[in-house]
């Protein structure tokens, strides 16, 4: 086996190495296009479906159909050795496709290995320039960077779908809970805390990601009129006034939070006693996370 080393500008490298790089570049370009289409399809998952073309158990091409009652198609060239298999797998999305000849899978032999190599040898005389090889390497590196960026964006989108929710009340049973004006109301008995964003010691919700949140304050005073405020980073954003002793009062409000911002409850005026257990609760849930910025 011959090896060419220490090439100078204008010298040549074996065609086999060039073809390996071309094959790698083609695969990366196909993967990049599929990832890009997949990210777009996730914005409307009810109409999107993804299919993958497999060669001996490894995906070599992707097709993402992003429109309902529309067509999606892909063409790809792949080299097969004798006895290798190719098939199609549906990977995610919608569950049905049209039958008859509206959905098809086809393929044909372009040329055999002998004719393929013969044609290449006639075109390049068995060698390729080092400059051409370097151009291919540069394109491959660029594709790898784009793929890594898309994969990171995809992971961010998946993370943004994480469930963030909590619900908490009081652990002191059956003694009534009393609060002074200006005091933070700490709901210390946690019934639900998906994402572990609520701190039962401080009574504060710490946003793990930016997005739109819905908060609910449900109180059951046992004394005279009581007033509470929902605070975001030290500023009141909503108020609840309970005017009936022995009756419940509820407020719900949607608030946009940036990552690491906090929300908590402060008792501002009125009576000083609340019913315990789950009769007085503070809860919240992430409605929708902020969308990641598209690639430049």
218/277 Cα distance (integer angstroms):
12
Model confidence pLDDT, tens digit, residues 5-51: 444 554 555 566 777 777 777 777 777 777 777 776 555 444 567 77
Per the prediction, the chain carries an average pLDDT of 75
Residue among 219, 282, 209 nearest 248 (CA): 219
- Whether 294 shows a pLDDT value over 70: the answer reads no
Whole-number pLDDT of residue 205: 97
At residue 246 the predicted structure's pLDDT band, cuts being 50, 70 and 90, is: low
Largest CA distance in the chain: 96
Question: 165-289 domain in CATH 3.40.50.300?
Answer: no
Between 41-50, 69-78, 134-143, 258-267, the lowest mean confidence (pLDDT) is in 41-50
Among 26-35, 166-175, 266-275, which range has the highest average pLDDT?
266-275
At residue 93, the pLDDT reads 67
Q: What is the DSSP letter of 7?
A: P
pLDDT of residue 40: 67
Give residue limits of the domains in the chain.
Answer: 12-160, 165-289
Report the C-alpha gap between 226 and 188 in whole angstroms. 20
What residues form DSSP beta bridges with 265? 230
């Amino acid at each position: 086996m011959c090896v060419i080393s220490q090439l100078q500008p204008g010298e040549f490298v074996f065609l086999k190495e060039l073809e390996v790089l071309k094959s790698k570049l083609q695969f990366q370009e196909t993967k990049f296009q599929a990832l890009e289409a997949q990210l777009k399809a996730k914005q409307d998952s009810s109409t999107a479906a993804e299919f993958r073309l497999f060669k001996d158990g490894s995906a070599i091409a992707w097709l993402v159909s992003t429109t309902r009652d529309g067509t999606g198609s892909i063409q790809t060239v792949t080299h097969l050795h004798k006895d290798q298999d190719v098939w199609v797998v549906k990977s995610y999305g919608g569950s049905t496709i049209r039958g008859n000849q509206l959905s098809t899978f086809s393929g044909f032999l372009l040329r055999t290995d002998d004719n393929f190599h013969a044609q290449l040898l006639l075109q390049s005389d068995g060698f390729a320039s080092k400059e051409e090889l370097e151009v291919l390497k540069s394109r491959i590196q660029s594709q790898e960077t784009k793929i890594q960026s898309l994969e990171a964006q995809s992971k961010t989108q998946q993370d943004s779908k994480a469930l963030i929710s909590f619900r908490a009340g009081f652990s002191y049973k059956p003694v009534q809970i009393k609060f002074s004006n200006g005091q933070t109301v700490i709901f210390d008995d946690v019934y639900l805390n998906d994402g572990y964003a609520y701190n039962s010691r401080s009574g504060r919700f710490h946003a793990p990601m930016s997005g739109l949140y819905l908060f609910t304050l449900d109180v059951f005073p046992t004394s005279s009129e009581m007033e509470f405020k929902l605070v975001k980073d030290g500023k009141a954003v909503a108020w609840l006034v309970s005017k009936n002793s022995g009756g419940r009062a509820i407020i719900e409000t949607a608030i946009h939070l940036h990552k690491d911002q906090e929300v908590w409850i402060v008792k501002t005026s009125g009576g000083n006693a609340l019913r315990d257990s789950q009769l007085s609760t503070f809860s919240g849930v992430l409605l929708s996370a902020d969308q990641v910025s598209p690639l430049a």
